[in-house]
Chains A and B, each alone.
Chain A
Amino acid sequence: GQNIDQPTEMTATEGAIVQINCTYQTSGFNGLFWYQQHAGEAPTFLSYNVLDGLEEKGRFSSFLSRSKGYSYLLLKELQMKDSASYLCAVRDQAGGYNKLIFGAGTRLAVHP
């Protein structure tokens, strides 16, 4: 089966660093995505990992360990506008075609 776990809520202080973890179990892993979603808006793409290691993109970095079924999203120099839900999603190709399976999301609140 497929299972994606991430913390429900996190809080952090403006200017700080926060790490959001994601663990997954899937039969046809073919990449891991992180999306950001502000309340009432569409999810927007943040990062993509298909090989082990760290991908850096400005203030955001994402790490993947396929052997451990583990990823994290690292947000540096937090800003108030980073308050949002962060969705971990696994691309699964079981069944012969690709589809994205999402975790429930981590709601991040950034405080002054």
Chain B
Amino acid sequence: ETGVTQTPRHLVMGMTNKKSLKCEQHLGHNAMYWYKQSAKKPLELMFVYSLEERVENNSVPSRFSPECPNSSHLFLHLHTLQPEDSALYLCASSQEGAEFYGYTFGSGTRLTVV
């Protein structure tokens, strides 16, 4: 596989459930990101991991918990979510320190909280 892979593509969960989103990159990048995309709003940066260390937690509620076990994998653990958390969650990776610092995005997980 190449690029950035996210699973599942779609997820419906109740407010009391616990679920996890998974992201895997096959590009040899050293930085990974979680973004939230809601309708008609900018992509919101949630978490930044650089060299497997979290360097930014952008005022995200504690019901979202990221995990980066190695440079190729990133998880977003979800628990007791609210309906307003329904959105497209996008994972991205990049090579920090490279002259061209573009992000490669996964296809996203469409989350619906009921």
Contact = CB atoms under 8 A, between A and B. Distances in A.
Contacts of A31: 101
B90 A42 contact: yes
Contact of A45 (B42, B55, B102): B102
B107 interface: yes
A99 interface: yes
B52 interface: no
B100 A102 contact: no
A41 B96 contact: no
A81 B93 CA distance: 26
Instruction: Classify chain B's interface size.
Output: 20 to 34
Nearest to A105: B42
A91 B48 contact: no
B69 to A, nearest CB: 20
Interface residues of A, number: 25
A109 interface: no
B108 interface: yes
Interface string B86-114: 00001010101000111111111010000
A21 to B, nearest CB: 16
B50 interface: yes
B27 interface: no
B41 A104 contact: yes
B107 A48 contact: no
B11 interface: no
Contact of B45 (A30, A42, A99): A99
A62 to B, nearest CB: 13
A48 B100 contact: yes
Interface centre among B33, B43, B50, B90 (most CB of A within 10 A): B43
A97 B97 CA distance: 9
A43 B43 CA distance: 10
A98 B101 contact: yes
Interface of B: 4, 33, 35, 40-43, 45, 48, 50, 55-56, 90, 92, 94, 96, 100-108, 110
Interface of A: 4, 8, 30-31, 33, 40-45, 48, 87, 89, 91, 95, 97-105
